[in-house]
Structure 1
Amino acid sequence: MIGETIKIPQATSKRLPLYYRFLQNFANSGKKRVSSSELSEAMKIDAATIRRDFSHFGALGRKGYGYDVHYLVDFFRQALDQDEVTDVALIGVGSLGNAFLKYNFHKNHNTRIIIAFDPKGTHEGTEMSGIPVFHPDTIEDKIKELGIELVILSVPSRVAQEVTDKLATIGVKGILNFTPVRLTVPDSLRVHTIDLSVELQTLIYFIKNDVKDSHM
């Protein structure tokens, strides 16, 4: 898996799934090779950044030729473990959590939600969008039983840390946090927080400043 044998910057790591997606698009359109400038135009990422990102993995391309599209697709598929599906648990089936269940990820990615937890679930499991939803009392037993290491957290803020503390004791390695709470976790547990309100406020800030800059 990526990161175990190659030490790369975090910013580069976050762009790898994007590279994989756009290279797949090129491959599906029948393109055999692509330059960093063509990738730059398609992805709206500076060509120098793309070349620097790729350089972390050795000689992926040739000067004057560019990059072999199918080779890069295969390379990033293996780097991102796209051939191995990762099972995910969803905790919190409110409006956002319900949207996750309806979408599920395995249709387009290498992850799939196989179980969910919510107070409206039962100890026996209530099916929603084809996914069994259990009562939170069963989290520890079910996650241990299924060997799940990745969790999507979309619970009310008041219980976010409590749930996280429980997850930290049962071997969970990663949490995709959709609550506004900055979670406290041990070093063995990685948290990525997506605060939708902050992202929206940031977007509004940039839009307003873009308008100001255009009138200067």
Structure 2
Amino acid sequence: MAVQKVPQATAERLPVYYRSLQRLVANGKTRISSSEFGKIVQIDSTTIRKDFSYFGALGRKGYGYNTRHLMEFLRKTLYQDELSKVILIGVGHLGTALLNHNLQKNDNTRIVKAYDVNPSKAGKEIGGTKIHTLDELKTDDNTDIAAAILTVPAGQAQKVAELAIASGIHGFLNFAPVRLQLPPDVYVRHVDMTVELQALIYFLNHAIEEKQSQ
């Protein structure tokens, strides 16, 4: 089956669909319509059908989608049949929390190594993950690592990312409140909680203002 090029917005929704399908299958749901599924994931059914259309005929008109078949398809599409190893750089409050959690809701992704600039943390373990000095990142071979999580201050993020790239990393989940300038073959997901909260507050206040004006 030829798969069309999938838009970024569609790719970002696939994990949402996959996690919801896991719950549906676990609860014994065998089939579901796009409209019913849309209510569960809070995405309109037209968007769901369009997203799935990039991968061919995943459902049938008048029947909907076989939940297990769709879940297994997304499992393979999202590479959930193999373990993805991740490193974390920056063992502060946020980094420590992530290490303690260590992606517990995802059996296929693990933080296997952590780095920090503070040498006193080297050799310690948090959540089963050993901490290394940042100097070790300069000589380590991380070509078998899927991505790095950056939880460092904004002023250190660019330099640290460049060190990680030199060690073999080509993907980042960046929690630092700064946009990284990296080569085009390096993929970065920025997670800025301040920006997200500001946007949330804007939408909440905008909704209140709309109600008051009615």
Partner Cα distance (1:129, 1:169) in 2: 27
Partner Cα distance (2:93, 2:43) in 1: 33
1:155-170 alignment runs, 5 A limit: 155-170=152-167
Decide whether the 8 Å contact of 1:157 with 1:180 is kept in 2: yes
1:30-45 alignment runs, 5 A limit: 30-45=28-43
- SS where residue 117 of structure 1 aligns? strand
Specify the alignment match of 2:101 in structure 1.
103
TM-score (norm 2): 0.93
1:41-60 alignment runs, 5 A limit: 41-60=39-58
Residue type of the alignment partner of 2:15: P
Q: What is the Cα deviation at residue 127 of structure 1?
A: 1.4
Specify the alignment match of 1:26 in structure 2.
24
Decide whether the 8 Å contact of 2:143 with 2:167 is kept in 1: no
Q: Aligned pair count? A: 212
Question: Quick one: which of 131, 137, 140 aligns to 2:138?
Answer: 140
Specify the alignment match of 2:184 in structure 1.
187
Decide whether the 8 Å contact of 1:122 with 1:133 is kept in 2: no
Deviations 1:155-202 (A, max 9, x none): 111111111122222321101000011100001211110111011111
Specify the alignment match of 1:64 in structure 2.
62
- SS where residue 6 of structure 2 aligns? coil
Deviations 1:61-104 (A, max 9, x none): 10000000110011000101111110000000111101100101
Decide whether the 8 Å contact of 1:126 with 1:133 is kept in 2: yes
Partner Cα distance (1:106, 1:86) in 2: 13
Compare 147-156 and 92-101 and name the one that shifted more: 147-156
**Is the counterpart of residue 172 in structure 1 residue 169 in structure 2?**
yes
- Residues 149, 24 of structure 1: alpha-carbon distance in 2 compared, 3 angstrom cutoff: closer
Residue type of the alignment partner of 1:214: K
Residue type of the alignment partner of 2:187: R
Structure 2 unaligned segments of length 5 or more: list them.
Answer: none
Q: What is the Cα deviation at residue 214 of structure 1?
A: 1.2
Decide whether the 8 Å contact of 1:123 with 1:138 is kept in 2: no
Decide whether the 8 Å contact of 1:168 with 1:186 is kept in 2: no
Q: What is the Cα deviation at residue 111 of structure 1?
A: 1.1
Specify the alignment match of 2:198 in structure 1.
201
Specify the alignment match of 2:115 in structure 1.
117
Identity of aligned residues (%): 46
Residue type of the alignment partner of 2:117: P
Partner Cα distance (1:5, 1:59) in 2: 11
1:81-100 alignment runs, 5 A limit: 81-100=79-98
Deviations 1:32-75 (A, max 9, x none): 10000111111110110001101111000100000001100110
Residue type of the alignment partner of 1:172: I
Partner Cα distance (2:112, 2:174) in 1: 18
Specify the alignment match of 1:131 in structure 2.
129
Partner Cα distance (2:100, 2:119) in 1: 16
Decide whether the 8 Å contact of 1:85 with 1:106 is kept in 2: no
Partner Cα distance (1:43, 1:145) in 2: 36
- SS where residue 183 of structure 1 aligns? coil
Decide whether the 8 Å contact of 1:116 with 1:134 is kept in 2: yes
* Root-mean-square deviation over aligned CA pairs: 1.8
Residue type of the alignment partner of 1:7: K
- SS where residue 112 of structure 2 aligns? strand
Residue type of the alignment partner of 1:163: V
